[in-house]
């Protein structure tokens, strides 16, 4: 019989135990920040009705981007982000939740497209969202940015410092009105702005020309990327309102202690959802990872599920994008995640098993991670080799002498020193070491 492949499908992540411990450690650190900030951790289904996942019905095309399947008459698929499920959930539980409602999610999402280098088809994102009914101060946008910053800072020992750039959808809307663009032009230009980083300056200029065919207007739009918003002050009421919102917001951020934020009007965050301020985090030492986290404000989160107007500000941290990628590229020192075990309990013969297991239970009860070697007929040499391989700090050796005297032989695996101790003294030594 041919053997089946042992590699995971391309685009799927599979970590070794020490890598996984580091991944989980970072997730826990960041989740802890979110929990202190009062975000309720939700765990929503990974599968949603297709009609919830998308408003489109060009199934052939959608099928190339998502994992879809049909059960009976129902088309369903794996979620590609956390927002679709969250908006359904919040709309469905309006009376069970307290608003402003703060939710976080740390879950797997899926992209069904063909695997590409550096693009995962299954990946974790960590979302945080604050939702209000009918009103929600932009102070909450600032708090979300502050909390994401704190979450990333909590794992700075691995990923280094971060910075956040803040953009404004209303600024562009106001500028497009000021330039008297029609709806089609507005949409096309916005797509160009969103893709500017990927397409490069030349293609961007070309695109502007194709859509506008007006050198003055083209230059005005380009000037935003070079000089920012300053020359647009007092050009129109709408522009002034957008600029005031953005500059006031930066003061609030500063007041909250967020010192690594700058205005960057090139931040667009795609076409979907967002209607207000938008922002992106980058890792200063890891530009190769692109956007580490991003989000913004949406004026009507759950319009397709509910007539109640739910205003939200939310963001997703690209958890796998950061950590799976750094781990796969050996950019994190795993030494401290390689040796999680304090004691290997070595049992010299089945007749000593009962005593050894009592020792094991006591060690674990004392919160000391311990593994027994239970192929008790194996030689001491094999057993001590195992203790060494799993990186145990100590070996607790149990033979007939130890059982008879109600003690254990505790070997320090680094120094090689061995002492005979009562269990109570051994526990003290292990905890003190």
- Least distance to a second copy, CB of residue 106, Å: 11
Secondary structure class of 401 (helix, strand, coil): helix
What's 196's DSSP letter?
H
Asked if residues 302 and 103 have their Cβ atoms less than 8 Å apart, the reply is no
Residue 48 binds a second copy, judged by CB under 8 A: yes
Residues 6+ apart with CB under 8 A from 369: 340, 341, 342, 343
| Nearer to a second copy among residue 37 and residue 409 (C-beta) | 37
Three-state DSSP at 390 gives: coil
Cβ 284 to a second copy, closest distance in Å? 22
Nearer to a second copy, 37 or 413 (CB): 37
Q: Using CB under 8 A, pick the residue from 82, 128, 140, 168 that binds a second copy.
A: 140
The radius of gyration of the chain's CA atoms, rounded to the nearest angstrom, is 28
Q: Does the protein bind a second copy through residue 416 (CB under 8 A)?
A: no
Note whether 74 and 49 are within 8 A (CB): yes
Cβ closest to a second copy, residue 77 vs residue 207: 77
Q: Which two tokens stand for residue 330?
A: 């050996």
Q: Which is nearer to a second copy, 241 or 285 (CB)?
A: 241
Task: Note whether 133 and 99 are within 8 A (CB).
Answer: yes
Residues touching a second copy: how many (CB under 8 A)?
99
Residues of span 303-342 touching a second copy by CB under 8 A: 304-307, 340-341
13's tokens: 């992540």
Q: What x-and-dash track marks residues 6-25 binding a second copy by CB under 8 A?
A: xxxx--xxxxxx--xx-xx-
Q: Which of these ranges, 132-140, 191-199, 287-295, 419-427, lies near a second copy under the rule CB under 8 A?
A: 132-140
Candidates 62, 76, 199, 423: give the one binding a second copy (CB under 8 A).
76
How far is Cα 201 from Cα 263, in angstroms, rounded to an integer?
Answer: 20
Interface with a second copy, residue 386, by CB under 8 A = yes
Q: Looking only at Cα atoms, what is the longest distance across the chain?
A: 95
Q: Least distance in Å: CB of 38 to a second copy? A: 4
User: Residue 100, preceding bond cis, omega within 30 degrees?
Assistant: yes
Of 17, 256, 34, nearest in space to 125 by CA: 34
Site for a second copy in 169-188 (CB under 8 A): none
The three-state secondary structure class of 353 is helix
* Binding residue (CB under 8 A) for a second copy from 56, 57, 61, 74: 74
Please report, as residue ranges, which positions from 198 to 257 form the binding site for a second copy (by CB under 8 A): 252, 255-257
Residues in region 102-121 near a second copy by CB under 8 A: 102-103, 108, 110, 112, 114, 121
User: Which residue, 142, 171, 285, 274, is CA-closest to 232?
Assistant: 171
Q: How far apart are the first and last CA of the chain?
A: 52
Least Cβ distance, residue 238 to a second copy (angstroms): 23
> Which residues ranging from 346 to 385 are in contact with a second copy (CB under 8 A)?
350, 353-354, 357-358, 361, 364, 367-377
Closer residue to a second copy, CB minimum distance, 56 or 304? 304
Tell me which of 92, 118, 161, 349 binds a second copy, using CB under 8 A.
92
> Does 390 help bind a second copy (rule: CB under 8 A)?
yes
Letter string b/e over residues 323-350, b meaning 16 or more CB atoms within 10 A of that residue's CB: bbbbbeeeebeeeebebeebbbbbbbee
């Amino acid at each position: 019989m041919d053997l089946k492949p042992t590699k995971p499908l391309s685009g799927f992540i599979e970590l070794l135990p020490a890598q996984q411990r580091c991944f989980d450690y970072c997730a826990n650190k960041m989740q802890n920040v979110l929990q202190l900030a009062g975000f309720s951790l939700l765990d929503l289904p990974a599968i949603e009705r297709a009609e919830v996942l998308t408003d489109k019905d060009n199934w052939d095309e959608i099928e190339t981007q998502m994992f879809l399947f049909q059960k009976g008459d129902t088309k369903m698929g794996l979620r590609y982000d956390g927002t679709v499920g969250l908006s359904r959930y919040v709309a469905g539980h309006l009376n069970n939740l307290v608003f402003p409602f703060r939710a976080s999610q740390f879950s797997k999402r899926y992209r069904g497209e063909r695997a590409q280098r550096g693009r995962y088809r299954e990946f974790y994102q960590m979302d945080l969202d604050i939702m209000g009914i009918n009103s929600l101060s932009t102070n909450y946008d600032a708090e979300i940015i502050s909390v994401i910053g704190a979450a990333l800072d909590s794992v700075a020992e691995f990923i280094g410092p971060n910075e956040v750039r803040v953009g404004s959808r209303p600024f562009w809307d106001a500028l497009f009105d000021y330039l008297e663009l029609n709806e089609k032009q507005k949409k096309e230009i916005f797509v160009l702005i969103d893709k500017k980083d990927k397409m490069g300056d030349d293609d961007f200029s070309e695109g502007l020309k194709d859509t506008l065919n007006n050198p003055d207007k083209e230059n005005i739009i380009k000037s935003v990327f070079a000089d920012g918003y300053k020359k647009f002050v007092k050009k129109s009421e709408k522009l002034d309102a957008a600029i005031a919102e953005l500059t006031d917001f930066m003061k609030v951020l500063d007041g909250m202690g967020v010192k690594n934020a700058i205005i960057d009007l090139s931040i667009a965050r795609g076409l979907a959802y967002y209607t207000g301020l938008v922002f992106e985090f980058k890792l200063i030492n890891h530009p190769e990872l692109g956007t580490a986290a991003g989000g913004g404000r949406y004026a009507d989160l759950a319009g397709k599920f509910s007539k109640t107007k739910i205003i939200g500000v939310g963001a997703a941290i690209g958890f796998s994008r950061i950590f799976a990628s750094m781990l796969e590229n050996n950019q994190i020192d795993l030494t401290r995640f390689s040796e999680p075990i304090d004691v290997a309990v070595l049992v010299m013969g089945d007749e000593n098993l009962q005593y050894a297991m009592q020792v094991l239970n006591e060690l674990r009860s004392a919160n000391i991670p311990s593994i027994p070697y239970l192929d008790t007929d194996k030689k001491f040499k094999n057993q001590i080799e195992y203790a060494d391989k799993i990186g145990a700090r100590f070996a607790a050796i149990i033979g007939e002498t130890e059982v008879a005297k109600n003690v254990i032989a505790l070997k320090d695996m680094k120094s090689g020193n061995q002492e005979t101790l009562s269990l109570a003294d051994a526990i003290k030594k292990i905890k003190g070491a």
